[in-house]
Amino acid sequence: MSNIRFLALLPAMLWFTVIAHAQVPPAPDPDQERMLASPDPALAANKRLVYNFWREVFEAHHMELAPRYLTEAYIQHNPNVPSGRSAFVDFFSKTGPATPIEKRIARPLVTIVAERDLVTLVFAREYDDPKEAGKKYTTTWFDMFRIKDGKIDEHWDPAIKPR
């Protein structure tokens, strides 16, 4: 086959490859401790801070621990949650009582990424398929945090306002 004909067919071949393997669900990593490691001690500390915040405050609802992890001026970019540590505590105090703190994050954690002052938790999430009743699909969700002076100062996620 000539190079010109091959290059002309390449987009179609790639398209069919994508269709044949359209959705590969993200898979959680069972070794959460390994995800916390980093050759850079500052990045490892930032990962551990976010990891512990997620387990203790977010998942277990121990809002009394929020001052350990969040700055007072905590900035929230989720359109459903107000900014400020006290607003965070007020909002999430209404979502359920405190529960025992688990040793690991309960949600299906895919990875933890840290760069500079940012830490991102990536999760697998399962939803009902709107096109096929009774079927589910899996996608990726992320929560990204900016660390300032050893505390979480800012948060991003892909949340949208509910209809």
Whether 14 is covered by a domain: the verdict is no
Instruction: With a cut of 60, say whether residue 2 has pLDDT above it.
Output: no
Residues in the chain: 163
pLDDT tens string 89-109: 999 999 999 999 999 999 999
- Amino acid symbol at 29: D
pLDDT given at position 7: 52
56, two tokens: 């203790």
Number of domains composing the chain: 1
Whether 115 is covered by a domain: the verdict is yes
pLDDT tens string 30-73: 999 999 999 999 999 999 999 999 999 999 999 999 999 999 99
Q: Return the CATH number at 35.
A: 3.10.450.50
pTM: 0.83
Containing domain of residue 116, as a range?
Answer: 25-156
Instruction: With a cut of 70, say whether residue 82 has pLDDT above it.
Output: yes
Closest listed residue to residue 106, CA positions, set 158, 37, 45, 28: 28
Instruction: With a cut of 70, say whether residue 16 has pLDDT above it.
Output: no
Instruction: With a cut of 60, say whether residue 120 has pLDDT above it.
Output: yes
Whether 7 is covered by a domain: the verdict is no
Q: Model confidence at 118, in pLDDT bands (50, 70, 90)? A: very high
Whether 162 is covered by a domain: the verdict is no
pLDDT given at position 19: 47
| Residues 6 or more apart in contact with residue 126 via CB below 8 angstroms | 136, 137, 138
Residue 125 β-bridge partners: 139
Whether 15 is covered by a domain: the verdict is no
104, two tokens: 């690991």
Taking the alpha carbons at both ends of the chain, their separation in whole angstroms is 53
Whether 19 is covered by a domain: the verdict is no
> How far, in Å, CA of 161 to CA of 139, rounded?
19
> How far, in Å, CA of 145 to CA of 151, rounded?
10
